[in-house]
């Protein structure tokens, strides 16, 4: 059973978050950060008005610091492919994707899955059933696994990081998180003490289950990761067969 399906968007708000309307947004923030809602709404409005290009393969990621608050990473929901030319950041539906991602991320973190620390989500309704959205986490230092593999040439460090990535993926699957778009750019390498850790990002299409992800679903996640590696590095300059053998969990 997929436990991330709900009859209404209101039901997906984790209990430690508060719904705060601040025109023109419906904000869903961690309750202890609720006082930052007005400043956050202004910052999001500025991002939307500027139509700025940020980080990530769709240019929707931005670092944001609020006065007296933590450093945040804000990801603006944006479409890919041909749909981006038509709709860009507009989405249809009664159940906003950033709000579902907030619930999935918060629950995944409780299960011990290495995901980003969720701070909140924001939805701006343009018309009934039509919205723009943002997903907000605590900012972390580091780089994508793809960037790491292109820049670090120490073979021992590379193996260590790849093994941490494999462990993070195995934890994700064991704890019931199905990430259908897992790739080298949403596995994030961050320093931890004198070592490294992996954070799994971009759960907007991910779903939680009440049992481990196995069988064909596990195979599809692995195949998606391998396709990502071959697409980014078709000649195997940075993701060589040894690296693929560590990452390939089929």
Q: In the prediction, which pLDDT does 67 show? A: 87
Quick one: pLDDT at residue 1? Answer: 33
> Is the CATH number 3.40.50.720 carried by domain 143-247?
no
Instruction: Dump pLDDT digits (tens) for 14-53.
Output: 889 999 999 999 999 999 999 999 999 999 988 866 566 6
CA atoms within 13 A on the CB side of 154: 5
Q: How high is the pLDDT of residue 47?
A: 80
- Residue 5: its pLDDT value, please? 37
Per-residue model confidence (pLDDT) at position 56: 57
CB-CB neighbours of 21 under 10 Å: 10
Summarised one tens digit per residue, pLDDT across range 109-123 is 999 999 999 999 999
Which has the closest alpha carbon to 202: 178, 184, 224, 186? 186
List C-alpha distances in Å: 101 to 26, 33, 56, 116, 249: 15, 19, 17, 11, 25
- Residue 166, exposed/middle/buried by CB under 10 A (0-12, 13-18, 19+)? middle
What residues contact 37, with CB distance under 8 A and at least 6 apart? 20, 22, 27, 29
The pLDDT of residue 208:
95
The confidence score (pLDDT) of residue 91 equals 87
* 4 conformational bin, left if phi > 0, alpha if psi -120 to 50, beta if neither: alpha
- The span from the CA of 85 to the CA of 100, in Å, is 25
Residues of the chain with pLDDT under 70: 1-12, 48-59, 79-88
């Amino acid at each position: 059973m997929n436990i991330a399906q709900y009859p209404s968007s209101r039901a997906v708000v984790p209990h430690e978050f508060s719904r705060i309307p601040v025109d023109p947004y419906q904000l869903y923030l961690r309750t202890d950060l609720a006082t930052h809602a007005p400043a956050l709404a202004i910052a999001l409005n500025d991002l939307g008005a500027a139509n700025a290009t940020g980080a990530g393969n769709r240019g929707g990621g931005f670092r944001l610091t609020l006065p007296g608050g933590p450093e945040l990473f804000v990801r603006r929901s944006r479409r890919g492919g041909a749909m981006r030319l038509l709709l860009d950041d507009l989405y249809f539906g009664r159940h906003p994707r950033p709000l579902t991602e907030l619930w999935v991320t918060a629950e995944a973190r409780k299960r011990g899955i290495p995901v980003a620390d969720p701070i909140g989500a924001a939805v701006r309704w343009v018309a009934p059933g039509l919205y723009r959205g943002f997903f907000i986490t605590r900012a972390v230092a580091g780089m994508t696994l793809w960037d790491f593999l292109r820049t670090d040439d120490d073979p021992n460090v590379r193996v260590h990081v790849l093994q941490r990535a494999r462990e993070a993926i195995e934890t994700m699957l064991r704890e019931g998180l199905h990430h259908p778009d897992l790739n080298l750019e949403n596995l994030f390498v961050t320093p931890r003490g004198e070592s490294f850790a992996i954070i799994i990002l971009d759960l907007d299409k991910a779903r939680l289950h009440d049992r481990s992800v196995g069988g064909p679903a596990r195979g599809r996640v692995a195949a998606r990761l391998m396709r990502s590696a071959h697409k980014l590095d078709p000649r195997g300059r940075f993701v060589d067969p040894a690296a693929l053998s560590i990452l390939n969990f089929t």
